Amino acid sequence: DGGITQSPKYLFRKEGQNVTLSCEQNLNHDAMYWYRQDPGQGLRLIYYSQIVNDFQKGDIAEGYSVSREKKESFPLTVTSAQKNPTAFYLCASSLRLGWNTGELFFGEGSRLTVL
Partner 1 sequence: DQQVKQNSPSLSVQEGRISILNCDYTNSMFDYFLWYKKYPAEGPTFLISISSIKDKNEDGRFTVFLNKSAKHLSLHIVPSQPGDSAVYFCAACETQGAQKLVFGQGTRLTINP
Q: Which residues bind partner 1 (CB under 8 A)?
A: 4, 6, 9, 35, 40-45, 48, 58, 90, 92, 97-100, 102-109, 111
- Shortest Å distance, C-beta 112 to partner 1: 13
114 vs 72: CA distance, rounded Å: 28
Neighbours of 10 (CB within 10 A): 10
Nearer to partner 1 by Cβ, of 52 and 88: the residue is 88
- Shortest Å distance, C-beta 102 to partner 1: 5
| 3-state SS, one letter per residue, for 28-47 | CCCEEEEEEECCCCCEEEEE
- Shortest Å distance, C-beta 80 to partner 1: 26
Nearer to partner 1 by Cβ, of 16 and 102: the residue is 102
Q: Which has the closest alpha carbon to 11: 65, 85, 67?
A: 85
